[in-house]
Structure 1
């Protein structure tokens, strides 16, 4: 049972801020011991910050706070592409707006699913991107031996398989905790996993950080509404 303090706006913001500080500290430690592994630092931040959606869901943080934070970080990440504001996240001039799309997707999903009282689907979308995309990149880089090309992008079957498996697991765990163990959730989770893997394969300019969370959440939401 949560205390009255966690229901106060100050308490909610304090917990969310502490989590982001912990993620930042972890990224700093990783960067200290692996100064040449900038991609690893980015993935620590990518995976860590996405879990803020769980805090927002569990503490019932107001929608306007999430959207305001999304707008703030969207502007900050855009500026960071041209100025050294977030050097561990973006490289100046890097031809990817993935971090920007990441921040935008959180605001879009909060506006959608907080409004209809279904924040668990926002969590599905964000966590599929957070865990699925994050580990797909790490596994693909470390273990990717069987590559394929989609347009001018090189991907690996190992990374895509990891994306599908982790996305399936994320979706299934959340639906199990909110709906219960019915056969439909396994079908929904399978379709979400396959769709997420397909969308992640097309990641030009980081657009997958927008398409993966929104489409994963939308598929999970509409299928559960129609199959259950």
Structure 2
């Protein structure tokens, strides 16, 4: 299996960290500005952060940011997320009293996947897990809320087939794009991507209280990794 993580050059570490930090800062400011100065609802603002912030995994991958930086950032943002449920640090992102730990789980999942796959020098699998959650779940929520007309209920949660279909299609596209970029365009990548799409959509449908932000990325990355080991070694 190809390694997609090149040797890190210590001299570019401060610049790499600054670029990633600036990206997160811009997303946060954009979301908070939308919350304060537009008619965008809280859920729309949350999805701006959800989709925007998740792409930091690509920056971490492309800039070869070290594992310790990613894990440390995950711990920091996990703590901030927990604190923000009690203190309105960013009210547009976490409403006080909201019965979901989604933002916290999101930060934790990034740390877990960076710790796991940076150690193996296979960051593409961390990227698959995070981007399936970032784009799949983010767009599924927006499409489901806007166009969801055919609904179903799982454990008391109302879902839409339109949203679930979006989750499956986007998860498949994200996984396939990364696997083609790192492994080449073979039938294995298509089969793995179909499996990831099914797994991610199922996990998203059955997860409550925001835990899909943990189960979807870790589950997607794990299936991608183990199936890749099976097919490519």
Retained in 1: the 8 A contact 2:140–2:166? yes
* 1:24 maps to 2:56: no
Aligned length: 225
Check the 8 A contact 1:47/1:131 in 2, yes or no: yes
- The residue aligned with 2:136 is 132
Flag the 1:68–1:90 CA change in 2: closer, same or farther, 3 A: same
Larger RCO (CA under 8 A, 6+ residues apart): 2
What is aligned with 1:38? Answer: 42
Which residue does 1:166 correspond to in 2?
A: 170
- What TM-score does the superposition give when structure 1 sets the normalisation length? 0.95
Structure 1 residues 5 and 60: alpha-carbon distance in aligned structure 2, compared to 1, 3 A threshold: closer
* Deviates most, 83-92 or 134-143: 83-92
1:207-218 equivalences in 2 (<5 Å): 207-218=211-222
Aligned mate of 1:59, from 60, 63, 67: 63
Contact 1:77/1:86 (CA < 8 Å) preserved in 2?
no
Does the 8 Å CA contact 2:34/2:40 hold for their aligned counterparts? no
Query: How many angstroms apart in 1 are the aligned matches of 2:32 and 2:154?
Result: 34
Where structure 2 has 5 or more consecutive residues not aligned to the other structure, the ranges are 1-7
Aligned to 1:157: 161
**After the TM superposition, which parts of structure 1 deviate over 2 Å for at least 4 consecutive aligned residues?**
4-7, 28-36
> Aligned residue for 1:195?
199
1:36, distance to aligned residue in structure 2 (A) = 4.7
Q: CA RMSD in A?
A: 1.6
Whether contact under 8 Å (2:129, 2:220) holds in the other structure is yes
Alignment counterpart, residue 11 of structure 1, candidates 12, 15, 18: 15
TM-score w.r.t. structure 2 length? 0.93
1:123-142 deviations in Å (ceiling 9; x for gaps)? 00000000000001000000
Establish whether residue 181 from structure 1 lines up as the match of residue 168 from structure 2.
no
In the other structure, the counterpart of 1:80 is 84
CA distance in 2, matches of 1:161, 1:127: 17
Q: Any stretches of 5+ residues in structure 1 without a counterpart?
A: none
Q: Name the structure 1 match of 2:72.
A: 68
